[in-house]
Amino acid sequence: MAKIIVVTSGKGGVGKTTSSAALGTGIALKGHKTVIIDFDVGLRNLDLIMGCERRVVYDFVNVINKEATLNQALIKDKRTDGLYILPASQTRDKDALTLEGVDAVLKELAEEFDYIICDSPAGIERGAQMALYFADVAVVVTNPEVSSVRDSDRILGILQSKSRRAERGDAPIEEHLLITRYHPERVSAGEMLSVEDVEEILAIPLIGVIPESESVLKASNQGTPVILETESEAGLAYTDAVDRLMGEERPMRFLDVQRKGFFKRLLGG
Protein backbone atom coordinates (compact mmCIF):
# COMPACT_ATOMS: atom_id res chain seq x y z
CA MET A 1 0.00 0.00 0.00
CA ALA A 2 1.42 3.36 -1.03
CA LYS A 3 1.83 6.06 1.57
CA ILE A 4 0.45 9.46 0.60
CA ILE A 5 2.38 12.40 2.05
CA VAL A 6 1.12 15.96 1.63
CA VAL A 7 3.59 18.83 1.91
CA THR A 8 1.53 21.82 2.95
CA SER A 9 1.74 25.14 4.80
CA GLY A 10 -1.12 27.52 4.16
CA LYS A 11 1.24 30.41 3.56
CA GLY A 12 3.07 30.77 0.26
CA GLY A 13 6.81 31.05 -0.23
CA VAL A 14 7.82 29.08 2.84
CA GLY A 15 9.46 26.25 0.90
CA LYS A 16 6.78 23.67 0.07
CA THR A 17 8.04 22.88 -3.41
CA THR A 18 11.69 22.93 -2.33
CA SER A 19 10.78 20.56 0.50
CA SER A 20 8.64 18.29 -1.71
CA ALA A 21 11.52 17.97 -4.17
CA ALA A 22 14.04 17.32 -1.40
CA LEU A 23 11.92 14.84 0.57
CA GLY A 24 10.78 12.99 -2.55
CA THR A 25 14.36 12.65 -3.78
CA GLY A 26 15.54 11.56 -0.34
CA ILE A 27 12.87 8.87 -0.06
CA ALA A 28 13.68 7.58 -3.56
CA LEU A 29 17.39 7.49 -2.64
CA LYS A 30 16.45 5.08 0.12
CA GLY A 31 15.18 2.67 -2.51
CA HIS A 32 11.45 3.41 -2.39
CA LYS A 33 9.65 4.03 -5.66
CA THR A 34 8.39 7.60 -5.31
CA VAL A 35 6.29 10.06 -7.31
CA ILE A 36 5.96 13.77 -6.56
CA ILE A 37 2.73 15.39 -7.77
CA ASP A 38 2.47 19.14 -8.30
CA PHE A 39 -1.04 20.22 -7.21
CA ASP A 40 -0.49 23.89 -7.99
CA VAL A 41 -2.73 24.12 -11.05
CA GLY A 42 -1.96 27.25 -13.05
CA LEU A 43 1.32 27.92 -11.24
CA ARG A 44 3.43 24.89 -12.08
CA ASN A 45 6.88 25.07 -10.49
CA LEU A 46 7.93 21.65 -9.27
CA ASP A 47 9.24 20.90 -12.77
CA LEU A 48 11.64 23.87 -12.55
CA ILE A 49 12.88 22.93 -9.09
CA MET A 50 13.45 19.34 -10.28
CA GLY A 51 15.08 20.53 -13.51
CA CYS A 52 12.70 18.72 -15.85
CA GLU A 53 10.70 21.68 -17.19
CA ARG A 54 11.64 20.98 -20.80
CA ARG A 55 10.42 17.41 -20.62
CA VAL A 56 6.81 18.21 -19.68
CA VAL A 57 4.43 16.98 -22.37
CA TYR A 58 1.28 15.96 -20.53
CA ASP A 59 0.20 16.94 -17.05
CA PHE A 60 -1.96 15.94 -14.07
CA VAL A 61 -5.15 17.47 -15.52
CA ASN A 62 -4.60 15.70 -18.87
CA VAL A 63 -4.54 12.42 -16.97
CA ILE A 64 -7.69 13.28 -14.98
CA ASN A 65 -9.47 14.21 -18.20
CA LYS A 66 -8.18 11.02 -19.85
CA GLU A 67 -6.40 13.01 -22.57
CA ALA A 68 -3.22 11.14 -21.68
CA THR A 69 -2.29 8.02 -19.77
CA LEU A 70 -0.42 8.18 -16.51
CA ASN A 71 2.67 6.69 -18.12
CA GLN A 72 2.66 9.41 -20.77
CA ALA A 73 2.48 12.17 -18.17
CA LEU A 74 4.97 10.83 -15.61
CA ILE A 75 8.49 12.22 -15.99
CA LYS A 76 11.29 9.93 -14.88
CA ASP A 77 13.93 11.82 -12.90
CA LYS A 78 17.34 11.62 -14.56
CA ARG A 79 19.39 11.83 -11.38
CA THR A 80 17.59 9.58 -8.95
CA ASP A 81 16.44 6.03 -9.66
CA GLY A 82 12.84 5.22 -8.88
CA LEU A 83 11.75 8.88 -8.79
CA TYR A 84 9.00 10.31 -10.98
CA ILE A 85 7.31 13.71 -11.30
CA LEU A 86 3.72 14.40 -12.28
CA PRO A 87 3.61 18.06 -13.33
CA ALA A 88 0.69 20.41 -12.69
CA SER A 89 -1.36 21.80 -15.51
CA GLN A 90 -0.94 25.44 -16.53
CA THR A 91 -4.66 25.82 -17.17
CA ARG A 92 -6.47 28.72 -15.55
CA ASP A 93 -9.53 26.58 -14.91
CA LYS A 94 -9.80 26.46 -11.13
CA ASP A 95 -12.10 23.45 -11.21
CA ALA A 96 -9.72 21.30 -13.23
CA LEU A 97 -9.05 19.08 -10.22
CA THR A 98 -12.00 17.00 -9.09
CA LEU A 99 -12.11 14.76 -6.05
CA GLU A 100 -13.08 11.73 -8.19
CA GLY A 101 -10.37 12.50 -10.75
CA VAL A 102 -7.64 12.92 -8.13
CA ASP A 103 -8.83 9.77 -6.34
CA ALA A 104 -8.63 7.73 -9.56
CA VAL A 105 -5.10 8.96 -10.37
CA LEU A 106 -3.88 8.32 -6.82
CA LYS A 107 -5.34 4.81 -6.88
CA GLU A 108 -3.55 4.03 -10.12
CA LEU A 109 -0.28 5.45 -8.76
CA ALA A 110 -0.67 3.48 -5.53
CA GLU A 111 -0.44 0.22 -7.47
CA GLU A 112 3.03 1.06 -8.68
CA PHE A 113 4.59 3.41 -6.13
CA ASP A 114 5.61 3.13 -2.46
CA TYR A 115 5.37 6.85 -1.74
CA ILE A 116 3.21 9.57 -3.28
CA ILE A 117 4.25 13.12 -2.35
CA CYS A 118 1.58 15.76 -2.91
CA ASP A 119 3.10 19.23 -3.29
CA SER A 120 0.27 21.50 -2.15
CA PRO A 121 -0.36 25.00 -3.48
CA ALA A 122 -0.50 27.87 -0.99
CA GLY A 123 -3.82 28.92 0.48
CA ILE A 124 -6.74 26.87 1.73
CA GLU A 125 -8.76 26.69 -1.45
CA ARG A 126 -9.58 23.84 -3.76
CA GLY A 127 -6.05 22.90 -4.86
CA ALA A 128 -4.77 22.82 -1.30
CA GLN A 129 -7.79 20.84 -0.11
CA MET A 130 -7.36 18.32 -2.93
CA ALA A 131 -3.68 17.89 -2.09
CA LEU A 132 -4.38 17.07 1.55
CA TYR A 133 -7.71 15.21 1.25
CA PHE A 134 -6.29 11.72 0.61
CA ALA A 135 -3.14 12.07 2.73
CA ASP A 136 -1.88 9.58 5.31
CA VAL A 137 0.94 11.83 6.46
CA ALA A 138 1.28 15.62 6.44
CA VAL A 139 4.51 17.58 6.48
CA VAL A 140 3.63 21.12 7.57
CA VAL A 141 6.31 23.51 6.34
CA THR A 142 6.65 26.54 8.60
CA ASN A 143 8.98 29.55 8.74
CA PRO A 144 9.77 30.91 12.21
CA GLU A 145 7.64 33.97 11.55
CA VAL A 146 4.19 35.00 12.81
CA SER A 147 2.11 34.74 9.65
CA SER A 148 3.55 31.39 8.66
CA VAL A 149 2.97 29.88 12.11
CA ARG A 150 -0.61 31.11 12.22
CA ASP A 151 -1.36 29.77 8.74
CA SER A 152 0.20 26.43 9.65
CA ASP A 153 -2.16 26.19 12.60
CA ARG A 154 -5.06 26.90 10.27
CA ILE A 155 -3.92 24.12 7.91
CA LEU A 156 -3.68 21.75 10.88
CA GLY A 157 -7.33 22.50 11.61
CA ILE A 158 -8.23 21.64 8.01
CA LEU A 159 -6.19 18.41 8.11
CA GLN A 160 -8.13 17.43 11.21
CA SER A 161 -11.57 18.23 9.82
CA LYS A 162 -11.65 18.21 6.02
CA SER A 163 -9.47 15.25 5.08
CA ARG A 164 -10.81 11.87 4.02
CA ARG A 165 -9.47 10.32 7.21
CA ALA A 166 -11.36 12.91 9.27
CA GLU A 167 -14.57 12.49 7.29
CA ARG A 168 -14.47 8.71 7.56
CA GLY A 169 -13.46 8.74 11.21
CA ASP A 170 -10.28 6.78 10.43
CA ALA A 171 -7.02 7.24 12.32
CA PRO A 172 -6.05 10.90 11.91
CA ILE A 173 -3.38 12.10 9.47
CA GLU A 174 0.08 11.77 10.97
CA GLU A 175 1.33 15.37 11.30
CA HIS A 176 4.96 16.50 11.18
CA LEU A 177 6.47 19.94 11.56
CA LEU A 178 9.26 20.99 9.19
CA ILE A 179 10.78 24.36 10.05
CA THR A 180 12.58 26.02 7.15
CA ARG A 181 14.64 29.20 6.70
CA TYR A 182 15.93 29.01 10.26
CA HIS A 183 18.57 31.55 11.33
CA PRO A 184 20.29 30.39 14.55
CA GLU A 185 22.04 33.78 14.83
CA ARG A 186 18.80 35.73 14.74
CA VAL A 187 17.20 33.32 17.19
CA SER A 188 20.01 33.80 19.69
CA ALA A 189 19.70 37.58 19.25
CA GLY A 190 16.00 37.31 20.13
CA GLU A 191 14.93 38.43 16.67
CA MET A 192 13.39 35.19 15.52
CA LEU A 193 11.08 32.56 17.02
CA SER A 194 13.07 29.54 18.17
CA VAL A 195 12.37 25.92 17.25
CA GLU A 196 10.99 25.42 20.77
CA ASP A 197 8.65 28.42 20.41
CA VAL A 198 7.18 27.11 17.15
CA GLU A 199 6.90 23.57 18.52
CA GLU A 200 5.14 24.85 21.61
CA ILE A 201 2.59 26.85 19.64
CA LEU A 202 1.80 24.26 16.98
CA ALA A 203 2.16 21.24 19.28
CA ILE A 204 3.02 18.67 16.61
CA PRO A 205 6.17 16.53 16.41
CA LEU A 206 9.20 18.07 14.74
CA ILE A 207 10.62 16.22 11.73
CA GLY A 208 13.39 18.65 10.86
CA VAL A 209 14.83 22.13 10.87
CA ILE A 210 16.33 23.44 7.64
CA PRO A 211 18.73 26.34 8.19
CA GLU A 212 18.60 29.36 5.90
CA SER A 213 21.22 28.56 3.32
CA GLU A 214 22.59 29.99 0.11
CA SER A 215 22.63 26.53 -1.35
CA VAL A 216 18.81 26.42 -1.56
CA LEU A 217 18.74 29.24 -4.12
CA LYS A 218 21.80 27.86 -5.90
CA ALA A 219 20.15 24.46 -6.20
CA SER A 220 16.89 25.89 -7.50
CA ASN A 221 18.80 28.04 -10.01
CA GLN A 222 20.23 24.83 -11.40
CA GLY A 223 17.12 22.69 -11.10
CA THR A 224 18.67 20.29 -8.60
CA PRO A 225 16.88 19.21 -5.42
CA VAL A 226 18.91 20.70 -2.57
CA ILE A 227 19.11 17.34 -0.77
CA LEU A 228 21.66 16.28 -3.41
CA GLU A 229 23.98 19.07 -2.23
CA THR A 230 25.73 16.92 0.33
CA GLU A 231 28.16 19.70 1.23
CA SER A 232 25.42 22.08 2.30
CA GLU A 233 23.78 22.27 5.71
CA ALA A 234 20.32 22.54 4.13
CA GLY A 235 20.93 19.39 2.10
CA LEU A 236 22.11 17.47 5.16
CA ALA A 237 19.21 18.76 7.24
CA TYR A 238 16.78 17.44 4.60
CA THR A 239 18.56 14.07 4.62
CA ASP A 240 18.06 13.93 8.39
CA ALA A 241 14.38 14.86 7.96
CA VAL A 242 13.88 12.00 5.48
CA ASP A 243 15.52 9.57 7.91
CA ARG A 244 13.19 10.73 10.68
CA LEU A 245 10.18 10.47 8.37
CA MET A 246 11.20 6.83 7.82
CA GLY A 247 11.20 6.32 11.58
CA GLU A 248 14.92 6.56 12.25
CA GLU A 249 16.34 8.58 15.14
CA ARG A 250 18.59 11.49 14.19
CA PRO A 251 19.79 14.26 16.49
CA MET A 252 18.94 17.80 15.33
CA ARG A 253 21.84 19.64 13.71
CA PHE A 254 22.63 23.21 12.70
CA LEU A 255 20.50 24.77 15.45
CA ASP A 256 23.31 26.54 17.26
CA VAL A 257 25.22 29.64 16.34
CA GLN A 258 28.58 28.93 14.85
CA ARG A 259 31.23 30.53 17.00
CA LYS A 260 32.79 33.64 15.64
CA GLY A 261 36.32 34.78 16.29
CA PHE A 262 37.09 37.37 18.94
CA PHE A 263 37.50 40.28 16.54
CA LYS A 264 34.37 39.50 14.61
CA ARG A 265 32.40 39.42 17.83
CA LEU A 266 33.97 42.62 19.07
CA LEU A 267 33.06 44.44 15.91
CA GLY A 268 29.62 42.86 15.66
CA GLY A 269 30.30 41.39 12.23
Partner 1 sequence: MGIFDYFKSKSQPSSASVAKDRLQIIVAHERSKRQQPDYLPQMQQEIIDVIRKYVQVDSKDVQIQLENIEDCSVLELNVTLPDQ
CB of 260 vs partner 1, minimal distance in Å = 10
Cα separation, 12 vs 140, whole angstroms: 12
For residue 209, give the H/E element and its range: strand 206-211
Q: Which of residues 108-167 bind partner 1 (CB under 8 A)?
A: 145-146, 149-150, 153-154, 157, 161
CB of 149 vs partner 1, minimal distance in Å = 5
Q: Give the full edge-to-edge strand order of the sheet including 174-182.
A: 75-76, 83-86, 34-38, 115-119, 3-8, 137-142, 174-182, 206-211
At 5 the three-state DSSP class reads strand
Q: Closer CB to partner 1, residue 25 or residue 152?
A: 152
Q: Which of residues 208-237 bind partner 1 (CB under 8 A)?
A: none
On whether 80 is known to bind a ligand per the annotation, the reply is no
CB of 95 vs partner 1, minimal distance in Å = 25
Q: How far is CA 15 from the centre of its chain?
A: 7
> With helix as H, strand as E and coil as C, how does 146-195 read?
HHHHHHHHHHHHHHHHCCHHHHHCCCCCEEEEEEEEECHHHHHCCCCCCH
At 44 the three-state DSSP class reads coil
Q: Closer CB to partner 1, residue 106 or residue 202?
A: 202
Q: Which of residues 181-210 bind partner 1 (CB under 8 A)?
A: 187, 189-194, 197, 200-201
Report whether 117 contacts 5 (CB < 8 A): yes
Q: Which of 95, 171, 262, 267 touches partner 1 (CB under 8 A)?
A: 267
CB of 202 vs partner 1, minimal distance in Å = 8
Q: Closer CB to partner 1, residue 31 or residue 157?
A: 157
Instruction: Indicate whether 259 belongs to the interface with partner 1 (CB under 8 A).
Output: no
On whether 264 is known to bind a ligand per the annotation, the reply is no
DSSP 74-102: -EE-SSSTTEEEEPPP----TT---HHHH
Between strands 34-38 and 115-119, the pairing is parallel
Q: Which of residues 56-75 bind partner 1 (CB under 8 A)?
A: none
Binding footprint of partner 1 on the chain (CB under 8 A): 145-146, 149-150, 153-154, 157, 161, 187, 189-194, 197, 200-201, 265-269
Q: Residue positions in the annotated binding site for ATP?
A: 11-18
Query: Residues forming the annotated binding site?
Result: 11-18
